[in-house]
Amino acid sequence: MNNALPTEGNLSALKREDFQTEVDGKKTDLFILRNNNGMEVAVTNYGCTLLSIMVPDKDGKYSNVVLGHDSIDHVINSPEPFLSTVIGRYGNRIANGKFTLNEEEYSLTINNGPNSLHGGPTGFHARVWDAEQISDTVIQFNYTSADGEEGFPGTLDVSILYQLDDDDNALLINYTATTDKPTLVNLTNHAFFNLSGIANPSPSIENNIVTINADYYTPVDEVSIPTGEILKVEGTPMDFRNPHLVGERINDKFQQLVYGAGYDHCYVLNKAEAGELSFAALCTDPVSRRTLEVYTTEPGVQLYTGNWLNGFKGAHGATFPARSGICFEAQRFPDTPNKPHFPTATLMPGEEYQQLTVYKFDVRD
């Protein structure tokens, strides 16, 4: 592990010594990325977890716009284990933790009702990644997931690059992976954003204005598994093709919103061609005037409105009540291995999994 840059005096007031420990024989640490505009991102190699994203508001005031913790102990023991972490081997849910690949059935760890969620309780969010800080703006994380880890087949070599863009206040996340056996790969980042800036308590995201570039979504059943349908958003509270306040319809007695206690659904992004990097979503906080644009090569994005956050403590005394974070998780659709008509999440030997997702921050009048 190579920590190339000093971390003292970072905008988020995090201390390197608070992130240095050893987990399963591997050392954890704090890393700081800065671009020429003054944007700063703090991250640890435990779960490639985003600890803070410092960007200015309309008055030039910097605040942390991602829900995070201020020590490695709090990251490891967070009441929300997926708080702003990398997710894998399979982001989102797999029904009953079972799937069949090449006529062989596999069983995964169950950790969400009857289902496997986000790669299981010891998925990529709970692993110490090898880290190399390449420059002020770039850090690379690597992890080798063993054959059979959490029930998934194949040894999977994963590389994730976090990079700050100097021209735009953008965080680029570039994922690659290879395998020695047929397996599933569906990686994402579970960043919980609050464009107002985290606080005690962190403000609700219900006043955020959201646009999603999707004509369709994947409805779910009572345990949040896709029914297999791909339905139009038109005429429903799921429609964000034009800007809407998150809270405008979130409490409607629409069955999908009842199931999720709010938004927790995968949107089928409009694409000219599969794998293109294209606009996925826009989120605006009307008070700070901060905006977040999301671009991705993935076919879907999961909108999650932090419905199950319960007010636990985060960095520097901030608290995270229900709906104080909003997630745009770029990914393949949930339960894809059990839905053959969904875009595949299968990775074969000799192939390379690739994904690029961009989170771009700005201020608008």
Which residues carry out catalysis? 190, 329
Cα separation values, 112 from 190, 252, 294, 324, Å: 16, 25, 27, 22
Q: In this structure, what are the phi and psi dihedrals at residue 29, rounded to the nearest 5 degrees? A: -160, 175
Closest C-alpha to 230, from 268, 273, 269: 268
Q: Note whether 287 and 249 are within 8 A (CB).
A: no
Helix and strand totals (H; E) in the chain: 2, 30
Q: Which residues contact 124 (CB under 8 A, 6 or more apart)?
A: 47, 48, 85, 86, 87, 88, 89, 143, 145, 158, 187
d(Cα 182, Cα 140) in Å, to the nearest integer?
A: 25
Q: How far out from the chain centre does Cα 299 lie?
A: 15
Q: Note whether 132 and 139 are within 8 A (CB).
A: yes
Q: Note whether 140 and 127 are within 8 A (CB).
A: no
d(Cα 129, Cα 144) in Å, to the nearest integer?
A: 9
